Amino acid sequence: MKIRGWRTNLFRLIMPLAFLAFLLPGFSAMAVEGDATIGGQLYAGSRPMANGGAPCIACHAHPGFGAAGTASYGPDLSNLYTDYGAEGVAGVLESLAFPSMEAIFASRPLTARERLDLSAFFAQTADRKTAPAISLAGLILLGVVSVFAIVALLGLRRLKGVRQPLIDQVRKQRGM
Amino acid sequence: MDIRAQVSSVFHLDKCIGCHTCSIACKNLWTDRRGNEYMWWNNVETKPGTGYPTKWEDQEKYNGGWERVGTQLRLKQGGKAATIGKIFHNPDLPTMDDYYEPFTYKYADLTNAPAGTDQPTARAVSMVSGKPMKIEAGPNWDDDLSGSTVYAANDPGVIELSAEQQQQLFTIEKMVMFHLPRICNHCSNPACVASCPSGAIYKRGEDGIVLINQDKCRGWRMCVSACPYKKTYYGWSSGKSEKCILCFPRQEAGEAPACFHACVGRIRYLGVLLYDADKIEETAMKADGELAAAQREMILDPFDPQVLAAARKGGMAEQIIKAAQKSPVYKFVKEWGIALPLHPEFRTLPMLFYVPPLLPVLSTEHQGTQKLADDFFTSLEQARLPLMYLAGLFAGGNEEEVKAVYRRLIAVRIQRRAETVGDMAEAEVAKARELAGLDSKTLDAIYRMTSLTRIKERIQVPPMLREQAVEAGMDPEEYKQSMGFGSRKAPKRRW
């Protein structure tokens, strides 16, 4: 009874451990690498930061978000991963020790998960080309110019005199 | 039937001497303000000629009036979307040069110039820039066919004519012209009202006068391009558009409009017409040539009991009905059929009618020695002023309409000649009457109305019944207290 009891206890002890061991590889892999997709969502602000921090896209430019995503309040992050490497990025994300960022993130730090996801995202997108050629300001300028061009084009037909051409026509006929 | 009253008028072109007294009377009364210098609510044009503004009749250029699109009537300048699309750059407006650059003279130089060997002169200066200018155009620059090689030759109606007919018009020493005084037509289907993005233009329910609310007007100028007669104008100082108001303040006081009152040739007749507002759309959809007749059809007999019953049911006042029964305009347009609308093909159903000018038709090469009624009617086709030209002006190209009018006008003359000169055979007079389709009494009535009537007979200003009109909208006591002298507010910029 006793032996059997011990065996049962052992079994009871081993089974969860075995189960844990079975789960562990996946778990640890996630913990280490983070999810680049979730990182992307965090970056772009479609998934909110757990502590209420602002999404990176609000201030930084990074390829892959089109011209509307090329904010220029902070530095361009296109080469972040290439320059700093995985550890560098992780370090930066942990402290965010830049004067302008501190003000935002000191009271709203990124969680460990978020840092991992963002790192994964930066790692995954490291080979993307640098920020698009047309900045937002350039795009707005282009828009304004083209609107003016359209208006000017439409306005070409505007207010063409009637009387003067009649006079000119007669003068021409008479060779004046 | 939806019966409405319209203060309507007839201009008898045979009687117009082109003195411009009407224009001046109007100018002094209404448009002598700054920024309104170029504005002529009433102007007198010489026909053939391009008019004011230049070539206003050419809707290929100005895109005024209505056009038929399938079974729909549409503004030629485009619907609501098109209006918004060009709200900042309406391409269909006349330029300042097409009206004319307003000018004055430096009269002070005549007396204040320093002593010298030259006579002092008053130089022309622009009222826009204040700088000396060369005057090259004016509201009646082509008056009496001056500059006809430019202006008369480019009349949109003349361009339509064959080379032979044009020759006929411009043969030296036989050159022909007549005067065409124009005011706002106070149309039944006004394009200006339909085009206004601010909803500032309206047609007064009780008398059909088309007005621009100066408080609501935002100066978009869509009415300027939409009106095919170019009878709304933009006031450069007030920033609002303005147009002929048919002197409604004078009419409300029982007076004739200023241009009517001042008319030297007594060519102007005014009176109330009753018409069926339900028929407006159907009428405006008719083919070009049928429009004049269809519009006549729309105007109702003020003695017809059915019409009267419907009018009373619609709440029309007895005084208005009485005025409609005395209206000389009804006689001209409907009973006698000798007055036609100007350019009915613009489809705005203008409520100002013209008796076409007969004079050029009668002066054939026989130098006034015509003997027979037959002669008159055959000469009609060879008239110096081609029928086609007149049909283009007054009947949407339908020569039969114009011919019918001339037959009647000629019959009046033949009958009068038989009576006063006595050299016409009775058979000729009878034949003329038969061709005209009018009896001798009617012909006499036309003669009387066109030559002998006094102002009170020619101009029947209806009782305007402002009290009732006010009562319909608000308490008259409150109106009196709150409106008083009207609700004119000064614009932020200046008057």
CB contact (8 A) between residue B86 and residue A154: yes
* pLDDT tens by residue, A34-71: 888 999 999 998 999 999 899 998 888 888 787 667 77
> The pTM is what?
0.75
Candidates B332, B281, B275, B318; CA nearest to B298 is B275
* pLDDT tens by residue, B104-140: 999 999 999 899 999 999 999 999 999 999 999 999 9
* % of chain B exceeding 70 in pLDDT: 92
Q: Tell me, yes or no, if B91 comes closer than 8 A to chain A by beta carbon.
A: yes
Q: Tell me, yes or no, if B57 comes closer than 8 A to chain A by beta carbon.
A: no
Place of tokens 């022309």: B124
Chain B closest-CA separation from residue A141 CA (Å): 21
Residue type (1 letter), B412: V
Residue A34 burial by CB count (10 A; 0-12/13-18/19+): exposed, middle or buried? buried
Contacts of B61 in chain A (CB under 8 A): 162
Confidence of residue A131 (pLDDT cuts 50, 70, 90): low
Question: B334 near B467, Cβ under 8 Å?
Answer: no
Cα dihedral value B56, B60, B64, B66, nearest 10: 140
CB contact (8 A) between residue A166 and residue B50: yes
- Rounded Cα gap, residues B61 and B72, in angstroms: 22
Confidence of residue A15 (pLDDT cuts 50, 70, 90): low
Contacts of A155 in chain B (CB under 8 A): 89, 91
Kindly state the average pLDDT of the residues B197-217: 93
User: From A157, which residue of chain B is nearest by alpha-carbon distance?
Assistant: B91
* pLDDT tens by residue, A101-128: 888 888 888 998 999 999 999 888 887 7
How many other C-beta atoms are found inside a 10 Å radius of the C-beta of residue A82? 10
Q: Tell me, yes or no, if B89 comes closer than 8 A to chain A by beta carbon.
A: yes
Q: Tell me, yes or no, if A170 comes closer than 8 A to chain B by beta carbon.
A: yes
Name which residue leads in pLDDT, A135 or B45.
B45
Contacts of A162 in chain B (CB under 8 A): 50, 53-55, 58, 61, 94-95, 98
Helices (H), B231-372: 248-252, 258-262, 280-284, 291-298, 305-313, 318-326, 328-330, 359-362
Q: Tell me, yes or no, if A163 comes closer than 8 A to chain B by beta carbon.
A: yes
- Rounded Cα gap, residues B227 and B214, in angstroms: 18
B185 contacts: CB under 8 Å, gap ≥ 6: B229, B231, B341, B342, B348, B350, B351, B352
Residue B226 burial by CB count (10 A; 0-12/13-18/19+): exposed, middle or buried? buried
Two tokens at A70? Answer: 């090329």
Kindly state the average pLDDT of the residues B223-241: 95
Can you tell me the ipTM of this complex?
0.78
CB contact (8 A) between residue B50 and residue A163: yes
End-to-end CA distance of chain B, in Å? 43
